[in-house]
Homo-oligomer: A and B are copies of this chain.
Amino acid sequence: MKQFAVIGLGRFGSSVARTLARLGHQVIAIDSDEAKVEALMNEVTTAIQADARDEEALKAAGIRNVDVAIVAIGENVEANILVTLIVKEMGIKCVVAKALNDLHGKVLAKIGADKVVFPERDMGVRVAHTLASGNVLEHIDLSPEYSIVEIVAPTRVAGKTLGQLNLRAQHGVSVMAIKRNDKILAAPGADDVVEEGDIMVLVGRNKALERLQES
């Protein structure tokens, strides 16, 4: 179990705080807006209403003892930067800060943020990849050329075994898992059959993955 502080409980921050608490960690959640604090009160260890630019309030909240602080203040760039500076100077080992854009991200890194995140930008990239290739459900870039994708099995592969499809030899694509209803077949073998409606998790070159999705 680790100790976390989440400062700024907008859509991103509240989701981070809630998920960490569900994973069994201690979470101190802070926002200047009382409604945001109340909405999360029953889901985290401690929820506190305070302006995070107030160093004394942060200390009183016990922020100094956390392993990781996440600064999820959004549109007020000045507050976001100031709070990142304050928590870093308190000696917190790992400070994660949410940035509005590249320039803001560079400033955050310079003043000591250990990790800078761009939730909207990154999710925009993911959603665009998903929409661009009709039946792709998930997409992870492994490198500029390789990806992992989750696709609905194309009709023409249904009823065949992985051995018959031979995707590895023909396309350089490996099937990492097959999802069927609630079940999951991790690392399936040559004898496993792909059924209609199955979701296949594939790894391979982008070009090869695109070809597979089209057909």
A contact set with B: CB distance below 8 Å:
2, 4, 10-20, 23, 25, 68, 70, 94, 96, 100-101, 117-125, 127-129, 131-132, 138, 140, 142-143, 145-146, 148, 150, 168, 172, 174, 176-177, 179, 182-184, 186-187, 201, 203-205
Number of identical protomers:
2
A131 proximity list for chain B (CB < 8 A): 4, 16, 20, 68, 70, 94, 96
A139's nearest neighbour on chain B, judged by CB, is: B140
Interchain CB contact under 8 A, B186 and A172: yes
- Bound-complex Cα distance A106 to B182 (A): 23
- Nearest-CB distance from A177 to chain B (Å)? 6
A179 proximity list for chain B (CB < 8 A): 142-143
Interchain CB contact under 8 A, B142 and A184: yes
Partner of A128, one of B15, B101, B122, B128: B15
Question: What are 28 pairs between A and B in contact, CB < 8 Å?
Answer: A11-B120, A11-B124, A12-B120, A12-B123, A14-B124, A15-B123, A15-B125, A18-B124, A19-B124, A20-B131, A23-B129, A96-B127, A96-B131, A119-B127, A120-B123, A138-B140, A140-B148, A140-B150, A142-B150, A142-B177, A142-B184, A143-B182, A143-B184, A174-B176, A174-B186, A176-B176, A177-B203, A186-B204
